[in-house]
């Protein structure tokens, strides 16, 4: 796992906080909006945002009345709370590790995972926790960068990933491989930013038999 730990993530994202919105907001706004629209959730649905950062998704969630947002970096959550206040959105914002969600089983109708699966130290632990807290039939929307399923990274990409994973996020993760550790089913997988390097993926938790 190396340097990609919760402690390192807290430190680097605290340092990135002053410029985070400029980089992660303007560049990816239309993809965040697209992902939320594909969620197809009802206004009163219980929606969880894991790794919510400064709350850049909130402007696309106006009208939703049961929002919970988590992030491991306290500074991010403070900024998110301020943004929710300006937008007059009711959001329960909590500092929390996305690999250990402090919620009961089957708590949420939908989950947003925007730019977190490629950052979090253990993406499998994260997706398993998301599956656990999601209600049967619930939806997960993922927006992140992924290696095409079945493709192995080149030597150059492996070398570049040593830098990318330390400073920003892992560029060699496969959404199919991560999801395969759960019962979640991939309903949609469409290209997004940078010629499809970023993907928008919709997952569904099967209904109970």
Pairing mode, strands 134-145 and 198-204 = antiparallel
Range 56-73 average pLDDT: 96
- pLDDT at position 151, please? 65
CA angle 118, 8, 195 (to 5 degrees): 25
Q: Which domains does the chain have, with CATH numbers?
A: 6-204 (3.40.50.150)
Q: Which residues contact 208 (CB under 8 A, 6 or more apart)?
A: 136
**Is the pLDDT score of 174 beyond 50?**
yes
The 8-class DSSP code of residue 162 comes to: H
- In this prediction, residue 1 carries a pLDDT of 39
pTM: 0.84
DSSP at 88: T
Which of 180 and 166 is assigned the larger pLDDT? Answer: 180
């Amino acid at each position: 796992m190396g340097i990609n730990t919760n402690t390192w993530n807290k430190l680097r994202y605290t340092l990135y906080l002053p410029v985070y919105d400029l980089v992660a907001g303007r560049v990816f706004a239309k993809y965040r909006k697209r992902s939320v629209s594909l969620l197809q959730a009802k206004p009163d649905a219980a929606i969880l945002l894991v790794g919510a950062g400064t709350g850049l998704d909130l402007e696309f969630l106006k009208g939703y009345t049961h929002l919970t947002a988590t992030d491991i970096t306290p500074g991010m959550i403070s900024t998110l709370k301020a943004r929710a206040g300006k937008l007059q959105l009711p959001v329960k914002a909590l500092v929390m590790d996305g690999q250990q969600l402090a919620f009961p089983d089957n708590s949420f109708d939908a989950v947003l995972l925007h730019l977190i699966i490629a950052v979090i130290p253990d993406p499998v632990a994260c997706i398993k926790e998301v599956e656990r807290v999601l209600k049967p039939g619930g939806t997960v929307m993922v927006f992140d960068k992924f290696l095409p399923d079945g493709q192995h990274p080149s030597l150059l990409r492996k070398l570049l990933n040593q830098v990318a994973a330390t400073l920003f996020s892992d560029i060699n993760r496969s959404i199919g491989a991560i999801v395969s550790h759960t019962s979640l089913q991939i309903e949609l997988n469409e290209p997004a930013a940078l010629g499809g390097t970023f993907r928008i993926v919709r997952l569904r938790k099967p209904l109970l038999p």
